[in-house]
Structure 1
Amino acid sequence: MSEYGYTFGGREPIATIKPGSPVSLRTLDCFGGKVRGVDDLPSRVCVFPELNPVTGPYFVEGAQPGDTLAVHIVSLTPASPVGISSTFPHFGALTSTGYTRTLQPPLEERVWLYDIDLVHQTVRYQARNSDFSTLLNLAPMLGTVGVAPAAGEVRQTIVPDVHGGNLDTPLLAPGATLFLGVNVPGALLALGDGHARQGDGEVGGVAVEVAMDVTIVVDVIPGERTGTPRLETDRQLISLGAARPLEDAFRISQEDLVRHVAELTGLDLLDALQLVSQTTEARAGNVVDPQYVMSAAIDKRHLPGVVAYGGVHDRLRGL
C-alpha cells in the first residue's frame, strides 16, 4: 500500500508509532510533485481528487476513542529548492467558485516558482509579467494534519473539520503542538501539504507549496476529549474552528477558547468571555476550501499558573 493517501479515514495504517518517540517522514507538495515548471498547469497534470496527498496514516499506540492526541512539530525542512504556487479557475477567495456563483469569467490559471534558500532562510517571489521580485522570510508550516473522523466517515484531505485536516494555519509551525480528538483505535494520524510560507487566509488558494522533511513526536492524553482542534505554542493557547460561513468558523474558535479558559482557570463563563474578548487574536487559516478556518488565541501571560493538558506541550518541547 502507498504511504501517501488523499483521505482521512478509509485507509489502513502504514506503520505504528509510539508516544514520546520522534518520527521522521517526508511529505509531498499539494500537487504530488507533478507541477515542475510554469507550463505544468495543475488542471492538466493533476487528476482530481488526487490533490493534497498526506503521509500515513500512522497507528498511535495506546490511542483510543475519547482520548486526545498531541502532535508536536519538532522540525520542518523544505525538501526541494523550489516552491510552487498557482491560481486555479473557480478556486480561491477572490474569484467565483462552486459555492459563490457569479457571471464573471474564472481567474487565469498561472504557476509561480519560488527559489528557496535554506542558508539565508528566504523564498524569492518573482512576478510572472514583470521584473519585480522580492525576498520573503522562509516560514515553514504544515497545511494538513488530521486523524480518522468518527462514525466511519471518510473525508477528503482538502477538507478541514473537527478531525483536523486541511487547517492551513501558519500557526502550525515548528514548536507548536496540535491537539486532536481521537475517534478510532490508534487515531490514524496523517499529515502533509507542506508550505514554505503562507499568508493568513491563503487568499489566492495556494501557498508556496513544497515537499517537506518532517519530524514530529506524539503523545496520548487518555480520557480527555477535544472537540475542535487546538494548538499550543510557547506563547499562546489557540482554538481552531472550521465551518462556512466564515463568521461561524470565527464563532466556533472563540466559543471553544472561552470554554477552555473557563475550564483551566475556574472562571465562570462570562468572566472567561470578558477576558478572551479583551485579549484574543483572531487569524484566518484558509478562506478557500470547502470549509473555512479561523483561529482564536490568548497569550499565556494572561493566564498565570495555568497549564493545559497536564503540560504535554512543554514536555514534548523538551524532548
Structure 2
Amino acid sequence: MIVKEIKQPGKYSYVFSRYAEPIVHIEPGETVAIYTKDAFENRVSKETDLPSKILEGDPNPQTGPIYIDGAEPGDTLAAHIINIEPTRGYAVSAHKPGLGGLTPTRSTPMLAEPMPEKVYIYKIEGDMITYNDRMSYPWRPFIGTIATAPRLEALSALTPFDNGGNMDTPETKPGNIVYLPVNIPGAYFYTGDCHAGQGDGELCGFALEIPAKVTIKFDLIKGKSINWPRIESPSEFMAIGSARPMEDAARIAYAELIEWMVEYGWDKYDAHQVLSQIGKLSVGNMVDTYYSLVAKIEKKYVKF
C-alpha cells in the first residue's frame, strides 16, 4: 500500500476555516500519513522552556486544510485512524497560569493566585511514558484535535464544536473511526495536538503532548448528514457534544447517540430508555473554550 505523506508546506493553521488555501487534495479511499506538531509548536524541549515566555499566542498548530475530493455539504467524512507514531523521544506537559480545571482562568476568574507554571518532560521508553519512578504511564496515543471546517465562521484551534475540533477525547485513537460533518465543498480537514496519553478531563490543560505521524484512511458517506461528531470502535458507538455548561455537552452527546440508534431502527424513546440503563458518559476535556463529553453504548445493545 502506497501512503501519501502530508507535511504542512508553510505556516500551520490556528483556526478551522474555509478561507485558507488547501495544502493537498486527496481522493476518498486514500490513506495518508499526516505530520503534526505538538500543542507547544515543538518549542518546549526542557523544563526551563516556559510556555508563557516562548509562545507568542494561544497554542495548538494544525496541519491542513486537506481537501477531500467529491465531499459536499450534507455528506459525512469518515476518518479511519490507523496509526499514531511519535516523531521524537519525549512528551511534554505543563501547568500554565490561566489554564486548567483547578486554577483561575479568563472564563472562571477567582481571587486565588493562579497555579505556578511548571514544565514536565517525559521520556518515551517503549510502551511507557516516564517522568520519574512515581510518574510513569502506559503509551495510549490519540489525536487531540480532528476537524472539518465550519460552514461560514472561523473557529479557534482550541475550540471543540459541532465540526469536531479540540475535543481531546482519548477515543480518537488507532482502530476507531471518527465521523465528521461536511459543511463545505472539500470538507477542509484539519488535525494536530496528538497525545501519548491523557486522563479524563485533561485536568491541567495539557496532556502528554507529542508531535506525530498520523496515518488515516478517508472515506466519504454521500448524502448522509450528522449534527455532531461520532466515533465507532470495534465494540461501541459514541457521540461527542461540546458546550458550556457541561450538562449541555452531555445532552448534545446523548441526543446525537439516540439519533444514531434511530438510524438502526430504534424508536427514539426506547433508545432514550436503553441509554438511561446501559449508556456510558466520559469527559474528553473540562478546560477548553467548550467542554467535550462522550456518550457511549456497546454495539451489542444497538444492532438487532
TM-score range, shorter chain: over 0.9
The letter of the residue matching 2:100 is G
Q: Find the counterpart in structure 2 of residue 314 from structure 1.
A: none
Residue 104 (structure 1) aligns with: 112
Map Cα deviations across residues 16-71 of structure 1 (whole Å, 9 max, x no partner). Answer: 0111111012100001111111000001111113x101111100011001111111
- Report the counterpart of residue 68 of structure 2 in structure 1: 60
Q: Which amino acid letter does the alignment assign opposite residue 141 of structure 1?
A: F
* Deviation per residue, 1:183-225 (Å, 9 max, x gap): 1110000100010001110001100001011100111111111
Tell me what 1:89 maps to. 97
Mapped contact 1:3–1:56 kept (Cα < 8 A): no
Deviations 1:263-303 (A, max 9, x none): 21x22221111111111110000000000000000001112
The letter for the 1-side match of 2:259 is: R
> What amino acid is aligned across from residue 228 of structure 1 in structure 2?
W
AA aligned to 1:276 is L
- C-alpha distance in structure 1 between counterparts of 2:201 and 2:158, whole Å: 15
Pick one of 123, 132, 146 that aligns with 2:129: 123
How many angstroms does 1:262 deviate by? 2.1
Look up the match of 1:164: 164
CA contact (8 A) 1:3 1:55 kept: no
Structure 1 stretches lacking a partner, 5+ long: 127-131, 306-319
How far apart in 1 are the matches of 2:267 and 2:81?
33
Give the residue type in structure 2 aligned to 1:86.
Answer: A
The number of equivalent residue pairs is: 295
Taking structure 2 as the reference length, what is the TM-score of the superposition? 0.95
In structure 2, what is the Cα distance between the partners aligned to 1:193 and 1:121? 20
Going from structure 1 to structure 2, the CA distance change for 1:97 and 1:58 (only over 3 Å counts) comes to same
Tell me the residue number matched to 1:317: none
Q: Deviations over 1:78-123 (max 9, x none)?
A: 1111100001111101111111111001010100011102xx3110
Letter of the 2:170 counterpart: P
Alpha-carbon deviations, 1:120-143, whole Å to 9, x = none? 3110133xxxxx534311000000
In the alignment, residue 143 of structure 1 is paired with which amino acid?
Answer: G
The verdict on how the C-alpha distance between 1:8 and 1:75 changes in structure 2, with shifts beyond 3 A counting, is: same
Matched, 1:135 2:141: no
1:28 to 20, 31, 37: 37
Query: What's the RMSD between the two structures over aligned residues?
Result: 1.1
Match of 2:281 in 1: 282
Q: Percent identity?
A: 39
Number of the residue aligned with 2:232: 232
Of 67, 76, 81, 2:84 maps to: 76
Whether 2:148 is the aligned partner of 1:147: answer yes
11, 19, 25: which is aligned to 1:16?
A: 25
Q: Are the equivalent residues in 2 in contact too, given 1:3–1:14 (CA < 8 A)?
A: no
- SS state at 1:225 partner: coil
* Cross-structure match for 2:47: 38
Q: How far is the alpha carbon of 1:3 from its aligned partner?
A: 5.8
What SS does the corresponding residue of 2:196 show, helix, strand or coil? strand
SS at match of 2:285: coil
Cα distance in 1, alignment partners of residues 90 and 52 from structure 2 = 20
Query: How many Å separate the matches in 2 of 1:84 and 1:111?
Result: 7
Deviations 1:231-276 (A, max 9, x none): 0010110000000011110111011112221221x22221111111
